[in-house]
Structure 1
Amino acid sequence: MKDAIFGVLLAIQFLTRLPVPVACPWNAGTRRWAARAYPLVGALIGALVGGIGVLLQPLLPTPMLALMLLSLWVALSGGLHLDGLMDLADALGSNAPLERRWAIMKDSQVGSFAILALVFHLAWKAVLLWALLEAGASPWWLVPVAALGRLGGVGLLVWVPAARPEGLAHAWQQSLGFKDLVLAALLPLAALVIMPSMAWLLIGLAAFIIIYGLAMRRAFGGINGDIVGAAIEGGELWLLMIAWSWWSFAMV
């Protein structure tokens, strides 16, 4: 039970900027429970952003509300996964040999491909949030999007091996197996009872992680922490696209 509690707190500390004034132990048990809690923490982020969105929706014009929700979304996560997206963009954009791509990913300097990836990624997220709100979707849709985005990160950690025996991704993987992915998926699967339309998001997420995982194995021979972070950001963007498509066409 202690490992489970510390694992949830560890996931909150790692994935958000929410204050957790507890020193959580870093061991195999807490890492397993932290990974299992990834979707729960995503749901927490989505609930905070969505709840504020519901309160402010009658007061703000839609474009301003969409930008405010995105700003809060980024602030709650501390831009953690955006950093991985930028590092990955610089590495892939270089068209360099494998060793050079790894060196670029580890470099703290930000290149032009990173800036372009960040700008277009946030622009697409903002526009999709705007379009979703305009289509009549509730801000509460951010709960499954944020939860499933982090479930995708767990799926990647379980399925695709670390490219090198170092770094956070490798450390997490030493404690994870298929059982942990199943347990992490229990919350999203249970939510299907309340929101059956979320099945489209689950199917879309599975397709995204499979394609992304295969691409990363080909490009880098495996994954690292930056690649997992970029998967969470990319997964959220893809899920927003699916949600907008469903609301714009299926609902009509």
Structure 2
Amino acid sequence: MSGKAVETAGEHGPALREGLSTALSWLTVLPFAGATVFDRTTGRRAMAAIPVPGLVLGLAAAAISTGATLVGFAPLLTAVLCVVSWELLTRMMHIDGLADVGDALGSYASPERAREIIADRYTGALGMGAVLLTLGVQVAALSDLLALPSASTGILLIGVIPALSRMSAMIGCSRLFRPFSTGGFGAMIIGTVPLRWIGLWWLALTTTAGVLAAVALPGVNAWAVTGGVAVAGVCGIGFTLVLARHLNHRLGGLNGDCMGALIETSTAVCALTALVVVRAAVQP
């Protein structure tokens, strides 16, 4: 991701188009050109649109889940395929960040040394453990969602979870936090996002999921999906605030790798929370 964003000067294009195309260029493997000017304005626009790449991942997972259900794949295999699609479509950049942050936090080193560990291109056992545990929770939660009595309920939720989890990067890039370096990708994006944008995205995703659920699902399942998305978003935001504050304290600020760690862990939290809410709603 940082390799696509070397700071340069120049004139910006229209905000909406530049934000959407840059977010998709930076955060997916899709062939979008993105911005030609890279500065904090570009970073703010791209981070404001970051749930859009999440929607793309969600659509891919929903398509995989639908096809796998039709051919009779087990929920566990389908869940693995969904998570694999998310990682391939993002070049595994977020789990790379999670691994680096896991190594840094597990070292219990000073902020200066922890930042050096994050910059090290090698992954240690602690980082690998963080990745395995996080992906394990994601797969298990998605598998249980797909095993619900109404498969469509689980598929709809899986389609929204990646967008919900990407709000975590908006929190990390909000004005509550600062980059620990004056250069690089983190300096371009962290501290640029107004908090109100996160609330607007939460409302938009919850409303959209509710409308789709009302059209596609009967009775209690529609309400379960709406509630699941709303509560998962709130829990994801709460979890991210706690983790981001901890990272900010331990590292003396945040960087781009921290955004990857926030996204991956928030994906697990959102999936798990949505599962709990939907199960409570649909089971007697």
**Same fold, judged at TM 0.5 (above):** yes
1:147 to 163, 173, 176: 163
Maintained 8 Å contact 1:17/1:77? yes
Q: Does residue 196 of structure 1 match 2:226?
A: yes
Which is further off, 38-47 or 82-91?
Answer: 38-47
Question: For 1:27 and 1:180, how far apart are their aligned partners in 2?
Answer: 20
Tell me how far 1:31 sits from its aligned partner. 2.8
Q: In the alignment, which residue of structure 2 is the partner of 1:82?
A: 95
Question: For 1:28 and 1:222, how far apart are their aligned partners in 2?
Answer: 17
Pick closer, same or farther for the CA change 1:58–1:229 going to 2, 3 Å. same
Maintained 8 Å contact 2:64/2:78? no
Q: In the alignment, which residue of structure 2 is the partner of 1:73?
A: 86
Question: For 1:174 and 1:161, how far apart are their aligned partners in 2?
Answer: 6
Q: In the alignment, which residue of structure 2 is the partner of 1:208?
A: 239
Map residues 113-152 of structure 1 onto 2, 5 A cutoff.
113-136=126-149, 137-152=153-168
1:156 to 165, 172, 176: 172
Which is further off, 162-171 or 94-103?
Answer: 162-171
Maintained 8 Å contact 1:36/1:184? no
Tell me how far 1:185 sits from its aligned partner. 4.6
TM-score by length of 1: 0.90
Q: In the alignment, which residue of structure 2 is the partner of 1:51?
A: 63
Q: Deviations over 1:13-44 (max 9, x none)?
A: 11111122566432444333211111122112
Tell me how far 1:52 sits from its aligned partner. 2.3
Maintained 8 Å contact 1:90/1:114? yes
Give the count of matched residue pairs: 252
Pick closer, same or farther for the CA change 1:122–1:192 going to 2, 3 Å. closer
Tell me how far 1:251 sits from its aligned partner. 1.9
Q: Given residue 194 of structure 2, which amino acid in structure 1 is its aligned partner?
A: G
Q: Given residue 214 of structure 1, which amino acid in structure 2 is its aligned partner?
A: R
Cα RMSD over matched residues? 2.1
Q: In the alignment, which residue of structure 2 is the partner of 1:249?
A: 280
Tell me how far 1:181 sits from its aligned partner. 4.1
Which is further off, 90-99 or 29-38?
Answer: 29-38
Tell me how far 1:186 sits from its aligned partner. 5.5
Q: In the alignment, which residue of structure 1 is the partner of 2:189?
A: 172
Question: For 1:246 and 1:179, how far apart are their aligned partners in 2?
Answer: 25
Tell me how far 1:178 sits from its aligned partner. 3.8
Q: In the alignment, which residue of structure 1 is the partner of 2:217?
A: none
Q: Does residue 14 of structure 1 match 2:26?
A: yes
Gaps of 5+ in 2: 1-12, 212-224
Which is further off, 234-243 or 215-224?
Answer: 215-224
Q: In the alignment, which residue of structure 2 is the partner of 1:4?
A: 16
Question: For 2:110 and 2:210, how far apart are their aligned partners in 1?
Answer: 48
Q: Deviations over 1:69-121 (max 9, x none)?
A: 11111111111110110001111111222211111110001111112122222
Question: For 2:119 and 2:272, how far apart are their aligned partners in 1?
Answer: 30
1:228 to 256, 259, 262: 259
Q: Does residue 219 of structure 1 match 2:250?
A: yes
